[in-house]
């Protein structure tokens, strides 16, 4: 247990994370989130996300002298990042996270929907093979799909398709951006019945034809969200498969949707999301269409930087967070050096005793989350093969 009293500087302590049971999560013990939750698992419920941090929507808790307190109260601070595990069973909505300026505006105008004024860039680290759609495809790829998918072309319309294909062959960036904006907006704001008709026609045609990777994905999405406009998304968004140990960074305003697998996510502390398509949740298509950065981009896959035999580090172009992945063999010890901001460490696998310099000890097992004060070193003595993830503010 945590023996310290309030107000003392807490070097290390165990934190109870929060579980989110969104509909897209993997079900019951098949979910990594359920396995990490250290709770009794309901085999019928989806376990989608594990939240580690101080976000007011699902704050971390600390037991002090037998009583639960907010982590933010115990440490006297809010963490600038939110650390998560996601276990994705079916597609999430096509979404984008607003940048700081737009977030402030949305929060001011519609606080009931956009609950905080923060921006939300994020990094995704694949624990298992992880599938996602993100960023607009190179224009020539979209043009090729307009040509080979009559249903997509019908939904977009003859004129918009023509002008897009013409722009895709040219080099005028502004014209292309305008054409892409028009294409995306036309698809996302199309009449529901028209969408249903074209999705149905497309899936019927694909069912009886040769199926490659994209065809299989379109049919799978239609199985999860029948006749939804999001079924067309793979034709204009990049389909990305991260292998275990790969990571990618998503800046604010990039469209994306996760499809399947388990990942670790670090983000600026915010829960603002603007959605459209593949979702039972509130849609805000006009805002999504207007805020996106309409530039084609293939997400860069990061492999991390090996710091020593045990630890790899993933950094991003922003200061709010960085991620380190550490493996310690059972029976050995490893010291994680302190970083300048407070950090959170998740034991994803294995068991260990964690000890701070002043001698505070915490036992960790699968799903344990450890708060570490800025600057404090922690030594992990692994009693079985240990994998830990640490999220902290950027150290460099």
Quote the CA–CA distance of 255 and 249 in Å, as a whole number.
12
| Residue 233 contacts residue 106 (beta carbons within 8 Å) | no
Quote the CA–CA distance of 252 and 264 in Å, as a whole number.
18
122-126 and 95-96 strand pairing: unpaired
| Residue 205 designated active-site | no
Q: Nearest CA to 13 among 87, 96, 92, 70?
A: 70
Q: What are phi and psi of 242, to 5 degrees?
A: -90, 135
Q: Nearest CA to 76 among 2, 8, 1?
A: 8
Q: What are phi and psi of 328, to 5 degrees?
A: -130, 125
Which of 137, 275, 283, 390 is labelled catalytic?
275
Q: Residue 172: helix, strand or coil by DSSP?
A: coil
Residue 97 vs residues 39, 104, 253, 267, 269: alpha-carbon distances, Å: 31, 12, 5, 11, 12
Residue 262 vs residues 237, 254, 385: alpha-carbon distances, Å: 21, 21, 20
Instruction: Indicate the Cα dihedral angle 215, 216, 219, 221, nearest 10°.
Output: -110
Residue 293 burial by Cβ neighbours in a 10 Å radius (0-12, 13-18, 19+): middle
Residue 369 vs residues 12, 41, 83, 270, 391: alpha-carbon distances, Å: 10, 18, 11, 20, 11
> Among positive and negative, which fits the CA dihedral 88, 299, 135, 314?
positive
- What DSSP assignment string belongs to 133-170? EEEEPPHHHHHHHHHH-HHHHHHH-HHHHHHHHHHHHS
Task: Please list the active-site residues.
Answer: 275
């Amino acid at each position: 247990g945590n023996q310290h009293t309030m107000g003392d500087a807490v070097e290390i302590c165990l934190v109870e994370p929060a579980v989110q049971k969104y509909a897209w999560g993997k079900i019951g013990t098949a979910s990594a989130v359920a396995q990490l939750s250290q709770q009794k698992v309901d085999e019928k419920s989806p376990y989608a996300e594990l939240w580690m941090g101080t976000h007011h929507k699902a704050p971390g808790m600390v037991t002090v002298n037998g009583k639960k307190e907010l982590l933010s109260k115990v440490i006297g601070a809010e963490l600038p990042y939110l650390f998560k595990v996601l276990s994705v069973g079916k597609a999430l909505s096509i979404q984008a996270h607003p940048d700081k300026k737009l977030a402030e505006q949305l929060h001011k105008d519609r606080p009931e929907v956009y609950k905080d004024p923060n921006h939300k860039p994020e990094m995704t680290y694949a624990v298992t093979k992880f599938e996602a759609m993100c960023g607009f495809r190179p224009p020539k790829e979209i043009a090729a799909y307009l040509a080979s998918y009559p249903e997509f072309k019908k939904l977009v319309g003859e004129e918009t398709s023509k002008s897009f294909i013409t722009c895709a062959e040219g080099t005028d960036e502004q014209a292309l951006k305008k054409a892409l904006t028009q294409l995306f907006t036309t698809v996302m704001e199309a009449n529901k019945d028209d969408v249903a008709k074209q999705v149905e026609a497309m899936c019927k045609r694909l069912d009886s034809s040769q199926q490659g990777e994209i065809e299989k994905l379109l049919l799978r999405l239609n199985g999860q969200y029948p006749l939804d406009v999001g079924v067309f998304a793979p034709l204009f968004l990049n389909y990305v498969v991260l292998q275990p140990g790969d990571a990618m960074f998503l800046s604010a305003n990039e469209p994306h949707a996760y499809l399947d697998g388990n990942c670790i996510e670090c983000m600026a502390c915010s829960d603002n999301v603007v959605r459209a398509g593949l979702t039972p949740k509130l849609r805000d298509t006009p805002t999504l269409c207007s805020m996106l950065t309409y530039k084609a981009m293939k997400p860069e896959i990061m492999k991390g930087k090996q710091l020593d035999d045990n630890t790899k580090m993933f950094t991003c172009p922003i200061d709010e967070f960085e991620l380190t992945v550490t493996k310690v063999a059972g029976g050995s010890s490893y010291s994680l050096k302190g970083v300048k901001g407070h950090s959170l460490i998740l034991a994803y696998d294995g068991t260990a005793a964690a000890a701070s310099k002043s001698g505070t000890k915490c036992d960790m097992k699968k799903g344990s989350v450890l708060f570490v004060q800025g600057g404090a070193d922690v030594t992990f003595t692994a009693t079985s093969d240990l994998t830990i993830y640490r999220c902290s503010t950027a150290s460099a």
